């Protein structure tokens, strides 16, 4: 892999992936596209990629995957500056969040379905051979067969966000079959670690504990999540970029060891060395009681094996958090 487009590259997962690719591949060229969505601060995303802005192997295009002018600009940049060839597109750009999707489903349809189709069409026009799609464990919805396997039928999505990710996978299947693009959907399970979005649980809980403010615990704290450390996810993406044995694959990237939310908070308390104040609230629409990845396919095809347990991962996250001078 020498020439790659990464959409949403200034975000949590994208910036960590870019760091690793530029470090380990001296000949790689990366075009990052990001619209710096107001979902959280542009300054946070710019900090994520600041070190690369003067790197000749890195190019930033600020724009929206729904904007035809942005797509044309991206197309021209590839044609003019990257020897008229692109090896892969890693599509991370998305409207995120299960609960917000219940409140405003229309924007999720636009960004996550139409935006994905736009990028697949760009891949076709550029004769790009590989498309890596960041899907989500949310596609499994209310499936009660655990652990979740890639071949499970997706009949009960619990949110518009989940439905939009299923749609992205189906679009990829069509483009793979009709146009020969290798499409790999990576279903990600509750990713955490340095640069995690401020709205996500671990980041939010850490800040609230330090502030001495209450954590709103939805449900009874018995819900389980398969928390997966960012470095393991990055290794999974890099392995997918090097995988070439089939034209269409769906692969889980998880930790295969779900823990209860109340246990996660307890681990955070030990890492931070401060007790949390907890206020219980009813379950939220769109939430599921358990996420649990079967990762045997990832192990077989990608050599994927998570190396970070949750306790160690939380400590690394907190070490990063303390260095950010986040206003409490």
Question: Which residues are catalytic, by number?
Answer: 161
Determine the angle formed by the axes of helices 115-125 and 160-179, rounding to 10 degrees: 20
Quick check: 57 and 28 in contact, CB under 8 A?
A: yes
Residue 88 neighbours by CB under 8 Å, 6+ apart: 1, 3, 4, 5, 128, 129, 130, 131, 132, 241
Distance CA 104, CA 94 (A): 14
Scanning 126-187, the segments in alpha helix (DSSP H) are 160-179
Residue with tokens 């060891």: 257
Quick check: 29 and 3 in contact, CB under 8 A?
A: yes
Quick check: 80 and 43 in contact, CB under 8 A?
A: no
Neighbours of 8 (CB within 10 A): 24
């Amino acid at each position: 892999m020498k020439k790659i487009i990464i959409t949403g590259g200034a975000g949590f997962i994208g910036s960590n992936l870019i760091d690793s690719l530029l470090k380990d591949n001296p000949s790689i060229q990366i075009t990052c596209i990001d619209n710096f969505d107001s979902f959280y601060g542009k300054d946070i995303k710019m900090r994520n990629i600041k070190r690369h802005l003067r790197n000749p192997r890195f190019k930033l295009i600020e724009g929206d995957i729904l904007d035809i002018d942005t797509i044309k600009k991206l197309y021209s940049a590839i044609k003019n500056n990257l020897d008229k060839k692109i090896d892969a597109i890693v599509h991370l750009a998305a409207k995120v969040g299960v609960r917000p999707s219940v409140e405003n489903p229309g924007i999720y349809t636009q960004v996550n379905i139409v935006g994905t189709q736009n990028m697949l069409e760009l891949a076709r026009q550029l004769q790009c051979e590989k498309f890596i799609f960041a899907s989500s464990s949310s596609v499994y919805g209310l499936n009660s067969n655990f652990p979740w396997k890639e071949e499970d039928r997706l009949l009960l999505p619990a949110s518009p966000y989940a439905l939009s990710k299923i749609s992205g996978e189906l679009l990829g299947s069509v483009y793979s079959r009709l146009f020969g693009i290798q499409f790999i959907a990576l279903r990600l399970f509750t990713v955490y670690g340095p640069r995690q979005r401020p709205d996500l649980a671990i980041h939010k809980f850490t800040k609230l504990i330090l502030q001495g403010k209450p954590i709103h615990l939805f449900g009874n704290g018995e819900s389980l999540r398969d928390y997966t450390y960012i470095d393991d996810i990055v290794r999974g993406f890099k392995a997918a970029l090097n995988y070439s044995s089939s034209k269409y694959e769906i692969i889980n990237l998880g930790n295969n060891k779900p823990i209860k939310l109340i246990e996660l908070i307890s681990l955070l308390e030990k890492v931070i060395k401060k007790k949390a104040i907890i206020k219980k609230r009813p379950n939220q629409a769109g939430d599921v009681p358990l996420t649990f990845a079967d990762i045997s396919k990832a192990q077989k095809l990608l050599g994927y094996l998570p190396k970070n347990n949750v306790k160690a991962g939380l400590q690394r996250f907190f070490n990063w958090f303390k260095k950010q001078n986040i206003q409490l």
